[in-house]
Amino acid sequence: MNKSAMPGVARRPQASKHRSRRRKWLIPLTLALFATLLAGCGAQVPPYWPDLSVDGDTVYVTNGRFFALKADTGDAMWAYPAVEQQSGGLLSGCSAPKITDGPFIAAPVVQDELIFLGSGGEIQRSLWGKGENMAGLRALNKLGTLQWRFEGATGSTIAAPALAGTTVYLPSSDHNVYAVDLETRQARWVFQTGNWVWATPLILEGTAYIASMDHVLYAVDDQTGSARWQFDRSSSALPAAPAFDGGVLYLGALGGTMYAIEAQSGELAWEQKVDGGVWATPIIVNGVLYFGTLKGAIYALRTTDGTQVWTKNVEGEVRGTPAYVNGTLYFGCENGRLYAFDAQNGDELMSPLGMQLEKASIYTSPVFDGTYLYVMSTSGEVFALDVERNAIVWQNNPLADQEE
């Protein structure tokens, strides 16, 4: 009998050939998979943190999507966009959900009838050129239904828009601020800066004050969009809006300086070096300026000359604006703690959150609505705190609830 005709003998070299062919691709494909996983997941830094605002009996939360919660119970009333399609993509950030609009990063501004929300999305760039524009402004009614869109912007909106009269001022990462007329739904004017605008424009007495990442603060006529003056003495980027008190603007810079600028002329009143970059708008109470820095320093400075009233240190970055409630300041911190300080002397008080959040930071500015203090963590958990009783009234993670 011919040996090669025997089944077991004849097939062995063939099987070996197949194995070899498989092995030939095994290492390159493993290497490719390994590199893809590293590229997709390893380099990821969360691109933004959630935001929070309160209007009447509703808490508005942006965490990629936009949610409306009942202020007294924390129950979700609605979400925008309402339907979410889940789709994974290794290179888009390890099973990142696909959302039909947005993402939404910044808190909204609310009018009587409408909610104005800046989109954190941007114009989609594909192999064949520009695609769908996800940037711009969304106007929703109070049931969360989209009424109209403004798509003039091409970059993402990182900070809440500002509302004055019948105009919404939309800051954008495309370097521009758009003054959107609510009647025509078109931009009345567009003001271009030299870099991203990550700060909410401050609208005061006919002037829009625009802090830009190009290191310049611009004062712009809010009707025409023409520049009145610009303050270009900051040596670093300006990621947050200025605070205003008694004709002076107080502006923090990422390089670690607090500036006091005359609102009329743009002249520097005083400047104070601080330990760490300032990302948030300071809060002003009784002639004292309160803010935290990215090195965990908490400052209380006199608005008159920038001299120090008191200073404290916490363990972690302080990014948000503090909330002031009955003589107490509440600061969120990178380490997941909510710190409470006596505004008079800087003594640390008991925190109403009462615990350190695990694997989460508090970068979002806490908000007090007259009843509760609302705090939000980077994990998306929202807490309503009773500061009188130092107790948690409710907590809810709307994004997690929707995904379940």
Of 235 and 264, the one with the shorter C-beta distance to another protein is 235
As a whole number of angstroms, the distance between CA 135 and CA 173 comes to 10
Q: Which tokens in the block code for residue 56? A: 């009447």
Nearest to 262 by CA among 229, 224, 216, 307: 229
Minimum CB separation from another protein for residue 255, in Å? 4
As a whole number of angstroms, the distance between CA 303 and CA 61 comes to 32
Minimum CB separation from another protein for residue 184, in Å? 31
What phi and psi, each to the nearest 5 degrees, are found at residue 339? Answer: -95, 145
Of 7 and 42, the one with the shorter C-beta distance to another protein is 42
Of 53 and 212, the one with the shorter C-beta distance to another protein is 212
Minimum CB separation from another protein for residue 55, in Å? 23
Minimum CB separation from another protein for residue 403, in Å? 21
Minimum CB separation from another protein for residue 40, in Å? 9
Q: Which tokens in the block code for residue 293? A: 């820095």
Binding interface with another protein (CB under 8 A): 3-4, 9, 12-13, 16, 20-21, 23-25, 27-29, 31-32, 35-36, 38-39, 42-43, 45-49, 91, 105, 125-127, 156, 158, 173, 195-196, 198, 213, 215, 235-237, 239, 254-256, 276-277, 279, 294-295, 317, 319, 363
Stated as kind and residue range, the H or E segment containing 391 is strand 391-396
Of 294 and 301, the one with the shorter C-beta distance to another protein is 294
The answer to whether the beta carbons of residues 295 and 276 sit under 8 Å apart is: yes
Minimum CB separation from another protein for residue 398, in Å? 20
Nearest to 298 by CA among 267, 333, 327: 333
Stated as kind and residue range, the H or E segment containing 118 is strand 114-118
> What is the residue-wise DSSP string for 179-232?
EEETTT-SEEEEEE-SS---SPPEEETTEEEEE-TTS-EEEEETTT--EEEEE-
Q: How far is CA 69 from CA 66, 76, 363, in A?
A: 10, 4, 20
What phi and psi, each to the nearest 5 degrees, are found at residue 383? Answer: -120, 135
Of 27 and 83, the one with the shorter C-beta distance to another protein is 27
Stated as kind and residue range, the H or E segment containing 286 is none
Of 20 and 226, the one with the shorter C-beta distance to another protein is 20
As a whole number of angstroms, the distance between CA 64 and CA 399 comes to 9
Of 38 and 355, the one with the shorter C-beta distance to another protein is 38
Minimum CB separation from another protein for residue 205, in Å? 29
Minimum CB separation from another protein for residue 92, in Å? 8
Of 31 and 350, the one with the shorter C-beta distance to another protein is 31
